[in-house]
């Protein structure tokens, strides 16, 4: 099973600033996913990040607000830009190990509070 490390685990940021979240996987994976979990809500997929190509964003999410990098098969970053209090959420990185035992693994999440 994949082990995912996310940094930072939590942060408190001023509105108008940006935060970059890092996701490191202990094995090479093709697809990485970024989710947002707003307070008291479920997980919502922000985008899918494949190495060597631009991220694919879900409806309601745009690259200018959530730029993503995927420089290699074990690492990705998500930036939350020009933050507002509405961006206060938990952001989770996820990877999929496909095949017969297809399963999604999640990082511990980054708890972001914007003040």
x/- letters, 27..46, toward another protein (CB under 8 A): ----x-x-------xxxxx-
Chain residues 3-22 in contact with another protein, contact rule CB under 8 A: 4
Told to check if 113 binds another protein by CB under 8 A, we report no
If the CB atoms of residues 14 and 39 are measured against another protein, the closer one turns out to be 39
Told to check if 57 binds another protein by CB under 8 A, we report no
CA 105/CA 84 separation, integer angstroms? 29
CA 36/CA 51 separation, integer angstroms? 21
Look at strands 89-97 and 75-80 and give their pairing: unpaired
* Minimal distance, residue 104 CB to another protein, in Å: 5
Residue that is written with structure tokens 């420089």 in the block:
71
DSSP conformational letter for 86: G
* 97 contact partners, CB below 8 Å, separation of at least 6: 1, 2, 29, 103, 105
Told to check if 109 binds another protein by CB under 8 A, we report yes
* Minimal distance, residue 82 CB to another protein, in Å: 27
List interacting residues with another protein (CB under 8 A).
4, 31, 33, 41-45, 48, 92, 96, 98, 100, 102-109
């Amino acid at each position: 099973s994949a082990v995912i490390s996310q940094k930072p685990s939590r942060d408190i940021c001023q509105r108008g600033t940006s935060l970059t979240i890092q996701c490191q996987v202990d094995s090479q994976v093709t697809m990485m996913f970024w989710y947002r979990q707003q307070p008291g809500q479920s997980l919502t997929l922000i985008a899918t990040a494949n190495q060597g190509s631009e991220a694919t964003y879900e409806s309601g999410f745009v690259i200018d607000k959530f730029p993503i990098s995927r420089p290699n098969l074990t690492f990705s970053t998500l930036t939350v830009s020009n933050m507002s209090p509405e961006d206060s959420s938990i952001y989770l990185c996820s990877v999929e190990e496909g095949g017969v035992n297809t399963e999604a693994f999640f990082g511990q999440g980054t708890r972001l509070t914007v003040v």
